[in-house]
Structures are given as C-alpha cells and as structure tokens.
Amino acid sequence: MPQEKGAPVLRTKKSTDDLQKIHAINEEFRERDLKASAKKTGRKYVNLKQMPLNQDALALMSWDEVKAMNMVPFDLVGKHLSVAALDLDSLAVQQKIEMLERKGYEIESFVCSPEGIQFMEHYYEQLQRPEERKTRTTVDESSSTLKKDIFSDEEKKEFEHGTGPSMINTMNLAAVSFRATDVHFQPEEKEVVMRMRRDGELYEVLRLLPLQYQLLSGEIKRASKLKINLASTPQDGNYQFTANDRQINVRVSTLPSRYGESIVLRILDAKVAMVELEQLGFSDEVKVIVQKTLNAGKGLMLVVGPTGSGKTSTLYSCLNRLNTKEIKIMTLEDPIEYELKNVIQSQISEDQGYGFSSGLRAILRQDPDTIMIGEIRDREVAEIALQASLTGHLVLSTFHATDAIAAIPRLLNMGVKDYILSSGLSLIVAQRLARRICENCKVQEQGGTFVGKGCEQCANTGFLGRIAIGEALILSEAVQKLILAGANTNDLRSQAEKDGFVSMKNDAQKKVREGKISTEEMRKVLGE
C-alpha cells in the first residue's frame, strides 16, 4: 500500500545503519577528491579525523575563531605548529598565520575538509572548561594499600592546572621514582583511577575527573602516535622519555570500556630489568646448573612459569652473560622490550606473515651461535628449536608450564616427538617472583618470622624489589630414558629428586628461613 503524502518516514535500525554507511562512503570519496585536488595545486592535505591531535596546539585558538576562519591548529612539536584550513589563501587565515609566526611558531599548512573542522568542536568543548578540572587528585585511603603519596602537592597541581605535556611528564617521572613497571588507568562512572604496579602489586595513586583524564590520555596517545580521536577500538603504540640521564621506553595499550578508554602503560626501564644472573635471587644450586648449560654452548634451555614470573628477564640475564665479541647472538621477540648491544634482535610480525617458525628458519641461515626465542607457542617452533639445539646451537626460550616437571608432558601433548625432546632438551628452569622483605625495615616477630614494618625506602609497603623462587631440572640420561618409555609425571619427579632436583617449594621455604621473603608471600606465590 503506498504511503500517504506527508506521513512520517519510519526508519528501521537496518535502514539507519545503511544510511550511515552511505554517508561514510560519500565522506571518504570527498576526502579522496580533496587530497587529489590539493596535490595538483601543490598543497599538503590532512584528514583531521585520522590525525593525532595536540591539546596545546588546539589551545592557541578558540572554537569561535576556528569556526569563523575555518582554520585549526592541530599539532605542536616544540615550535613547529601544524595548521589546517578550508582555504589557505583567505585573508583571515593568512593574517592568523602571520600572527603565529611573529610569536615564534614555524607554521606547516594543510588543506582540510569542512567535516574535519566540524569534528574539532567536541574537543574544544572539553578543552575550554578548565573549572571542571579542579578536583581532588589524591589516593583513596579506603581502598589503597599504599601509605605514601606518590605525587607531591605541587605535582598534583599539574593534574589540576597543567598542560598535557606537563601532566605526562609528571606521571612519567613519578613512575620511575616509584619503580613502577606499569601504570593503569581505569575509568569509573565519575572518576578515573590511576594505579601503578610495583613488585607485582597494584597501588592506587590518584583519582582524576574525566576532563583531567581526557587531557592526559590525549597527550599519551599523541606521544605514542595513536589517534587521539579514536576511542572505539583498541590501539597499541609506544613512546620514550628521559629520566636520570637514561632513556625509558613505554608501551601503550588502549581498550574501549564502559566508562571510557582503559589505558595501560608498560614502563621498560633497562636499568631495573637488565640485571646480572646473580642478582635475580636464584639459589646457588640453580645458578650453577644454569651457568653449566650456558658454558656448554649447545642444547635447549627452557624457562617456564606463568605470565609475569620474570621469564624474559632471566633470558636477558643469560644473554648478557654470553654476550661477547666471539659469539653471534640472535633473538626472535614479540615485542622487543630492551635493546641489547652486539645482539641482532628481530621482532615478530604475525600480521605480515613473519611468525616464530618462519623467523627461526631464517635465523638458522644467518649462522648464529646462540638463539633466543621469546616464547615457544606450538609444536612446529618447539621442534625447530630442538633440531637447532641438536646441530650445535645454544637455544634459549620460554614456555608456559606450572613447573619444570610439568613442562615435559605439556610439550609431548603439544605433539613434539619424544625422541627429539629427550635428545634436544638440556635444561628446564621454572620460576616465580616473590616480593623481597625490605632490608631497611625488616624485623623478626615472635616465632622467628620476618616482616617489613614499612619505611620511606620501600614507600611504607614493607617490600623492596623481588626475588626469584626457582627450580632447575637437568635432562639426565635417566630422565631421557623415562621420557622415551612414556613415564608419568610422578616417575619423572622421583627420578629428578634422585638426581638432586630441588623444587620451588623447597627453595621458597629456605628463603623464608633466611628472612628474604615472608611466609604469607610464599603462600601467595606458590599457593597453600
């Protein structure tokens, strides 16, 4: 039945979605035409919807000025200012550019679309409400286990009144000072919680209002070359900063969540992470076994444990021990976390078809002496690594397993052939990380147990740094025969103990007796 003239048009969700898709396609064509037109006239073109935006650049003009001139400053690096306009030849735009140049800015001009200019309104609305930034930026004492403010009163003012760059700088330096490995931003309904991970534990350090977080997160995304205006899909990036005369690398991950973007920063401080093998805290027995394997210069050494147990740090320590001009070391990593001098490091890119298996095959054609594989994830990589160890290479890698004994049936269940495993695998090190009792405030309680009472050095947490709890399983001839015979885990463990195997449990108990870790920490790390 034909619809009466003047009757309201009923739109279904599908028809609305279709209209939005058509609008997006039309806009894409307009942007493409504008780009081609700009190229013909020798102009530079920018799609503002796809560019990282800098709040300090936006602040150089009000929204009223932007609307009147159809011009917007969108990026600022030092004194290099990028501006975009619909008509770069208009008198108003030329006068504004001359005024900015008189203020010392070096101007780079771009042509943009009307949609790009209109897109800026949302960001100007947030930028030009400074009164909403005045809020408490303090630790929530009711939920935090941290008894010390990480930020001084002066530093907190940066989050209330500072610019994006000053906020990120304050946060970066505080994270390094606190010895944080990660910074987490968790949006809630009315606030955003900033937490820092130190020695494996998360501590709440600040609560920010959404507008404060908008400015800080925007600067984080700008620094890591992410799209500041894209919050509906995950993004990954990185940036660097300098602290105490050394460069710190930061990996950035964003994720859409109910109340806004969740952002996590991984602080990669080589001075903290790159330590000597002796400083990791392994027992003398484990250190001797590891050193013997490294000296042999061949075989496969696996470091196993759950995520966050320090496996990669152990591999880096081993590589540092091996790193001499006489040895060629190559790595396959996903991603590369720390730069190693004199080592050829290669980063996996699954999206480009460059995985661990193809990368390992390529590395073997490069005549290496030692190979480090970030992680063994499947049978193919495991068997290539084992074959490499059988042809005279020393191969180091990580693997997910609960302990050293459990790694063997896991590899077999993955499909690795028993005869290759028994002959190519030399050593399995399993480890966990436990918080070390702070030596500065350590006291002995009744019953002989040790605890840290809390002091300025440990930020009143009672712990300072972490120590490895470990076990090392040598693939002795007897263990190899059991693997070929299809022995179960109990038989493997029994034989290992006959060979002198010391479990993580025994290692942890010894560290409790020595006052290095607390009983509670041992139970937390290893379970009851």
What is the domain count for the chain?
3
Q: Quick one: 299 and 416 in the same domain?
A: yes
Q: Are 332 and 360 in contact (CB under 8 A)?
A: yes
| The pLDDT of residue 299 is above 70 | yes
In SS3 terms, 80-91 reads as EEEEEECCCCCH
At residue 8, does pLDDT exceed 80?
Answer: no
pLDDT at 365 exceeding the cut of 80: yes
Per-residue model confidence (pLDDT) at position 99: 96
Does residue 5 surpass a pLDDT of 90? Answer: no
Which residues lie below 8 Å from residue 351, measured CB to CB, with a gap of 6+?
A: none
Q: Do strands 329-333 and 370-373 pair parallel, antiparallel, or not at all (unpaired)?
A: parallel
pLDDT band at 449 (very low <50, low <70, confident <90, very high): confident
pLDDT of 1 > 50? The answer is no
Cis peptide before 335 (omega within 30 of 0): yes
Q: Return d(Cα 70, Cα 67) in angstroms, integer.
A: 5
pLDDT above 90 (res 226): no
The answer to whether position 522 is within a domain reads no
Distinct helix (H) and strand (E) counts, the chain: 20, 18
Query: Which of 93, 127, 161 is the endpoint of a domain?
Result: 127
Distance CA 167, CA 368 (A): 45
79 and 195 housed in the same domain: no
pLDDT at 121: 86
pLDDT at 76 over 70: yes
Domain boundary residue, one of 78, 94, 127:
127
The stretches of 59-186 forming alpha helices (DSSP H) are: 63-69, 91-102, 114-119, 121-127, 153-161, 164-177
Residue 395 CA to residue 329 CA, distance in Å, equals 10
Structure tokens at 225: 């070359």
Write down the pLDDT at residue 147: 56
* Co-location of 184 and 96 in the same domain: no
Of the pLDDT bands very low, low, confident and very high (cuts 50, 70, 90), residue 354 is very high
Residue 281 has pLDDT above 50, yes or no: yes
- The least confident of 233-242, 264-273, 300-309 is 264-273
Q: Is residue 448 part of a domain?
A: no
Binned at pLDDT 50, 70 and 90, residue 218 comes out as confident
Q: What is the pLDDT of residue 338?
A: 87
Average pLDDT over the chain, rounded to an integer? 89
Q: Is residue 137 a part of any domain in this protein? A: yes
My answer on whether 208 and 76 are in the same domain is: no
Q: What is the C-alpha separation between 144 and 262, in angstroms, rounded?
A: 19
Measuring CA to CA, which residue among 417, 373, 420 is closest to residue 395? 373
Question: What pLDDT score was predicted for residue 376?
Answer: 96
In a domain, 171, yes or no: yes
Using the structure block, give the residue that is written with the tokens 């064509």: 29
Task: Kindly state whether residue 330 falls inside one of the protein's structural domains.
Answer: yes
Q: List pLDDT tens digits, range 255-268.
A: 999 999 999 999 99
* 213 & 145 share domain: yes
Same domain, 83 and 119: yes
Kindly report, residue by residue over 153-193, the tens digit of the pLDDT: 888 888 887 777 889 999 999 999 999 999 999 999 989 99
In a domain, 290, yes or no: yes
Percent of the chain's residues with pLDDT above 70: 91
Q: Do residue 427 and residue 306 come from a single domain?
A: yes
Ranges 78-87, 206-215, 403-412: which has the least confidence: 206-215
Q: What's residue 145's pLDDT?
A: 60
Q: Calculate mean pLDDT across residues 88-97.
A: 96
Residue 9 lies in a domain: no
Look at residue 451 and tell me if it is in a domain.
Answer: no
Check if the beta carbon of residue 195 is closer than 8 Å to that of residue 265. no
* 30 shares a domain with 42: yes
Average pLDDT on 391-402 reads 96
Which CATH number fits the domain that encloses residue 304? 3.40.50.300
Question: Can you give the three-state secondary structure of 197-227, one letter per residue?
Answer: EECCEEEEEEEECHHHHHHHHHHHHHHCCCC
CATH number of the domain enclosing 144? 3.30.450.90
Q: Which tokens go with 412?
A: 């077999």
CB 221 within 8 A of CB 227: yes
CATH of the domain at 59: 3.30.300.160
Q: Any residues with CB less than 8 A from the CB of 337 and at least 6 apart, and which?
A: 249, 268, 273, 312
The pLDDT tens digits for 9-38 are: 555 555 556 666 666 677 788 899 999 999
Sequence-separated (6 or more) residues with CB below 8 Å from residue 467: 280, 281, 433, 434, 435, 436, 511, 516, 517
List for the chain the helix, strand, coil content (%; round to 5). Answer: 40, 25, 35
Q: Sign of the C-alpha dihedral, residues 476, 477, 480, 481? A: negative
Burial of 205 (0-12, 13-18, 19+ CB in 10 A): buried
pLDDT at residue 355, rounded to an integer: 92
Domain boundary among 109, 127, 145: 127
Q: How confident is the model at residue 468 (pLDDT cuts 50, 70, 90)?
A: very high
Tell whether the model's pLDDT for residue 51 goes beyond 90.
no
Lowest-confidence pick of 89-103, 121-135, 365-379, 489-503: 121-135
CA distance 429 to 305: 9
Do both 346 and 495 map to the same domain? yes
Which pLDDT tens digit goes with each residue over 117-161?
998 887 787 665 544 555 455 555 555 566 567 888 888 888 887
**207 and 330 inside one domain:** no
Q: Residue 526 corresponds to which amino acid?
A: L
- Mean pLDDT of the 342-360 span: 92
Q: Do 50 and 90 reside in the same domain of the chain?
A: yes
Closest by Cα among 476, 429, 442 to 282: 429
Q: Are residues 151 and 216 in the same domain?
A: yes
Full-model pTM: 0.77
Give the pLDDT mean for 222-250.
Answer: 89
Chain centre distance of CA 244:
21
User: Which structural domain range is residue 102 located in?
Assistant: 26-127
Mean pLDDT score, 392-406: 97
Query: Is 80 exceeded by the pLDDT of residue 71?
Result: yes
Residue 4 per-residue DSSP state: P
